[in-house]
Amino acid sequence: MSIGKLIHRQISVARVYGIPVRIDYRWFVVVGVSVWLVSMSLQKGIRGLPPVEPVVAWVLGVITTLALFLSVFGHELSHALVGRMEGIEIEEIVLHPFGGLTRFKHEPETPGAEFRIAIAGPAASFLFAVLSFGAYQIALVGGYRMAAAILFFIGAGNLLLAVFNLLPGYPLDGGRVLRALLWRRRGNITEATRIAGLCGIFIAVTLIIIGIYMAVSPKVQGTLSGLWSVLVGLFLFDAAAGVVKHARNMKQATVADTMSAPVAIEPDVLISHFVDTILPMHRRVSFPVAKGRQLHGILALEDLKSLPRERWRQTRARDVMRPVDDTLFVESSATMARADEIMQSNGVGSVAVVDHTGQLVGFLQQGRLKKVKVRK
């Protein structure tokens, strides 16, 4: 069983902006460890602050830990809200032992969208860090030493979260930034994902090696930190290796292995008939337009948004479809990597599949694209 599969039991705790928020049950173990570490640090004294009484230290440890995990949630919520601005539906936000995770319905459609979504989390963490350190200085000047201790931990935690997430290896945010840059430069999201995943594997192995050294070396007093580094490295390795494997499979798989049966409409179908009769039966955002298995184009729901309802009974599919060209179809023998590259760039997010004679045999659509509502 992979490490990723071990982290699957979750508790639903809230809905924020309509987004389900869940907590992995192992999160509570990490909370306990964090409370203990903060409490021990406060009892010893930090940053020129005097040692704190044990009971007070434990209370402050709880408050500080909850604030830190609220910061992690804010980091993930930033990803989610920017993703929603880019037209991507959000499945959930999960807080797990190694941080947080925002699940999207599908991948961003452009490198720019990927970059903006990826950078939103670290940007939020940097902002939280700046605000916390600023408030820390104010609390020190005002003589509020306990508040200063909490704010110092919150600021340090957010700064560490931002810097760590900017490491250029997938699935970290820095890896997604790297993927966006490679995708923009090479024009191939599959290859960009593979390279970012390989960088993620390198970072994971480095963390594991550093962690083992910290745990066993007599020169370093950091057994707990070393073990934690190893666990984080193993988690990242599992995720990055999965990404690389998926990208490799995408290169090898053919369109014929993945395509679905085409739900084609004829060129002369009225838009009113399409919206009232065909669309309710098929949850898709685009449809191939064909007659006698001869492809004429693709009708995208996005293109119907600008068509007034009163014209539906006079407008036919051929009048609003995107006429067939090389960006709207692939042969069934093409690789999925090639099909994915076309879908990412053709503005429709889907392609028709034809056989060697040019006859329509299937249809491909990117994950679940953003829903487009056609008003009736």
Helix (H, G, I), strand (E, B) or coil at 19: strand
Does the structural domain 256-365 have CATH classification 3.10.580.10?
A: yes
For β-strands 350-354 and 329-331, DSSP reports them as parallel
Residue 249 has pLDDT above 70, yes or no: yes
- Give the pLDDT mean for 161-189: 89
User: Within 10 Å of residue 340's Cβ, how many Cβ atoms?
Assistant: 21
For β-strands 90-96 and 19-24, DSSP reports them as parallel
- Give the pLDDT mean for 184-201: 86
- Cβ(100)–Cβ(75) under 8 Å? yes
- Cβ(262)–Cβ(290) under 8 Å? yes
Helix (H, G, I), strand (E, B) or coil at 370: coil
Closest among 287, 3, 40 to 171, alpha carbons compared: 3
Residue 220 pLDDT grade (very low, low, confident, very high; cuts 50, 70, 90): low
Q: Write down the residue that tokens 């879908």 correspond to.
A: 343
Residue spans of beta strands (DSSP E) within 265-358? 286-291, 294-300, 322-323, 329-331, 350-354
**Is the previous residue joined to 50 through a cis bond, with omega within 30 degrees of 0?**
no
Closest among 156, 157, 138, 158 to 148, alpha carbons compared: 138
pLDDT at 142: 87
Domain residue spans in the chain? Answer: 3-253, 256-365
Phi and psi at residue 76, to the nearest 5°: -70, -35
Angle between helices 173-186 and 189-216 (to 10 degrees): 150
CA dihedral 265, 269, 273, 277 (to 10 degrees): -20
- Give the pLDDT mean for 274-287: 87
Residue 4 has pLDDT above 50, yes or no: no
Angle between helices 111-142 and 54-85 (to 10 degrees): 150
Closest among 144, 130, 6 to 71, alpha carbons compared: 130
pLDDT at 47: 60
Which of 110-124, 145-159, 226-240, 331-345 shows the highest mean pLDDT? 110-124
pLDDT digits (tens, 9 = 90+) for 100-128: 888 887 778 788 889 999 999 999 999 99
